[in-house]
Amino acid sequence: MDIMSETSAAALSLVVDEIVEAARGVDPAELDAVADAIAGAERVFVLGQGRSGIALKAFAMRLMHLGLETHVVGETTSPAVREGDALVVASGSGTTETVVRGARKAAELGVTVIAITAEADSPLSQTAHVVLRVRAAVKTDHGSAASQQYAGSLFEQTVLLVGDAVFQALWQRSGTAAEDLWPRHANLE
C-alpha cells in the first residue's frame, strides 16, 4: 500500500468511526419524538443551509417516497406553510440566521418546528417544539475533540443518517412494502 492509499484508508476509518460514535450518541427518545411529529403533520417542510440543507433535501426525498407531502423551503414550487404542518430545520450551531428566522416565523404560524442541532441552548433549540441533539463539532469549532474532520462535516453526516433513521422508523410503522414506495421514485433519470 502506498502512502496515499494509507492516508486515504486512515481518513475513511476516521470518518466512519466518528459517524458511528455520533450516531450512537443520538437519544432514541428524541428520534421517536421527531418521527411522531412528522407522522402527525399534514405536510412536511425542510429548511437548512449548505451541507445541512443538502442532507435535509435527501430526507425530504425519502419522506416523499413514503407518500408524505414534502417541500423544500426556498424552492420555487414550495407553498406557504400553515398550522398543522411540520418544519424540520438543521443548524449545527443553532444560530444560522435564515434557519432561525424561518423557524421563528413557522412557529408563529402554528407550525411544529423540529430542530436538529448540536447546541441544546441555541436560539434554534429554544424556538423548536422538538429538538434532536447531535453530539458533533459545529462548523466554527476548529480543532475540537468532538471531531477531527473539517468544520461541521460530522454534524452534516449525522443529519443525513438521522433523516434515514426517521424515514426507516416511519416506513416500518406504516407496514408498507418497498414495492408500494417504488412508484414514487423519480423516473426521469
Question: Looking at the domain assignment, is residue 189 inside a domain?
Answer: no
28 assigned to some structural domain:
yes
d(CA 68, CA 40) in angstroms, rounded, equals 11
pLDDT per position as a tens digit, 71-83: 999 999 999 999 9
| pLDDT computed for residue 1 by the predictor | 56
Domain that holds residue 154: 3-184
Catalytic residues: 156
**14 in a structural domain:** yes
Q: What CATH number is attached to the domain comprising 165? A: 3.40.50.10490
Q: How far apart are CA 66 and CA 185, in angstroms?
A: 10
Residue 47 domain flag: yes
pLDDT at position 99 over 80: yes
**What is residue 89's three-state secondary structure?**
strand
pLDDT band at 144 (very low <50, low <70, confident <90, very high): low
Q: How far is CA 154 from the centre of its chain?
A: 12
Over residues 99-114, mean pLDDT: 98
Q: What total number of domains does the chain contain?
A: 1
- Other beta carbons less than 10 A from residue 175's beta carbon: 7
Domain assignment present for 96: yes
pLDDT average, residue stretch 96-121: 97
